[in-house]
Structure 1
Amino acid sequence: MFFGNPEDFAIEAMTEPHLIAPSAVWGRMCVHIGPVILGDFSDEHCGLYGAYCGFKELLNRKTRLWDASFDGLAREQIHDLVRNAIYGDDDRPMAAVLADSQRYRQFDFLTNWDEQFDGFASVIIQENATTTTILHRPHSAFARQREPGSFVVAICSTIGFRNACAGLVEWFDREAARLTLDEGRTMT
């Protein structure tokens, strides 16, 4: 099932067909941004709750995804700034690491959002009010090093992004409610 428009921004998701209540919402998911696909839809029986929480947080966000430290930087520099501030292995004091993590975590996209996004760690920004940009650098699945390949910049409309997030959140809430039912009774 697609939430949104794959030519702009869409979340493709499904629950595993064999699930019966009571169960968590297990399934598959990936993200389509035009020709760019992030995530592994073929990975079966993945947890979907982490991604649901990430998309819900982005949907509920009231301010534009931008930080003054991005002013004047190229997109690849923004990506590296965010990733290094959160995950960099450097000599910063612990207080600085914690402050940077708190400041930049809102731009971290797909990292640890369940198994379907293993190996996919991106940065999300909004350079203006009408577009949302996903910045992605492929990494080796077996090492924390850059994989040969292009730096990916995928741009979609902010309204398309928000509509897809809203659709996914509504669907997940319905699926979670359906999978908590046991012969018409809600599990307590």
Structure 2
Amino acid sequence: MVFGEKHDFAIEAVVEPNLVLLSSVWGRMCVWCAGVPLGDFSEPHCGLPYSSFKSLCLDLPELWDPEFEGKSDEELFNHLDAVLYGVKDGVEVVDERTLEECEDDARAYSRFSFLTNWGEMFDREGKSFIFCRDGNSVSVLNRPLGTTQLRLLRTSAVSVEAACSEFMIWFEQEQTKLRPPSALRV
């Protein structure tokens, strides 16, 4: 199933065949942004990140912080990579923040993390951050694993919200098939 348009923004997902009743929704997934695939659709039996897409859909209109104004894409990526993952220019750095400061930064900035730690299918994609500066246009900054290249991918908030909503409806339907209320009765 493809939710959205690959040339714009889409979530491609399938449920693994032969899942039995009372199973979780295991499957395969890839996200497309501006025609660029993010994720390994061939990776089998992955947990599909329903709650991450739900949070993205809710947070999308506010995925910007005034402190980002004037920063280049590279500076913005490096700032978030440092405060969330302790990495600068691809190298782990000594982090002298207190635990409380790290927790504060995680609360403030984790909403900008996109696909990183969302599932096995995204493990080899490097890191991505997502922004919606004006409530209408969405930017994804992606640094593929093992490179210093930074990709800027653009789409619209309407496209992201539509794909996320369609994916969530489909996921809920698949979950109901695998866990029908009658099968949960004792």
Q: Same fold (TM over 0.5)?
A: yes
Give the RMSD, CA atoms, in angstroms.
1.5
Q: Which runs of 4+ in 1 moved over 4 A?
A: none
- What is the 5 A alignment of 1:34-53? 34-48=34-48, 51-53=49-51
CA contact (8 A) 1:11 1:31 kept: yes
102, 109, 113: which one pairs with 2:107?
102
- AA in 1 matched with 2:72: A
Residue segments in structure 2 that go unaligned for 5+ positions in a row:
87-92
Q: Taking structure 2 as the reference length, what is the TM-score of the superposition?
A: 0.89
- The Cα shift of 1:149 comes to 5.3
1:187 and 2:178 are equivalent in the alignment: no
Give the TM-score of the pair, scaled to structure 1.
Answer: 0.88
After superposition, the C-alpha distances for 1:40-98 in whole angstroms (9 at most, x for unaligned) are 001011111xx211100111237420012211001121111112111114111222111
Does residue 1:122 correspond to 2:128, yes or no?
A: yes
Instruction: Mark the CA change 1:62 to 1:124 in structure 2 (over 3 Å): closer, same or farther.
Output: closer
Within 5 Å, which residues of 2 pair with 1:1-188?
1-48=1-48, 51-61=49-59, 63-88=61-86, 89=93, 90-120=95-125, 121-139=127-145, 147-148=146-147, 150-181=149-180, 185-188=182-185
Q: Which moved more, 1:100-109 or 1:112-121?
A: 112-121
**One-letter code aligned to 2:112:** F
Give aligned-pair identity as a percent.
38
Q: Contact (CA 8 Å) 2:22, 2:183: kept in 1 or not? A: no
SS in 1 for 2:118: coil
Q: Give the whole-Å Cα distance in 2 for the aligned partners of 1:75 and 1:83.
A: 12
Q: Which has the higher helix share?
A: 2
User: How many angstroms does 1:34 deviate by?
Assistant: 2.1
Partner AA of 2:84 in structure 1: I
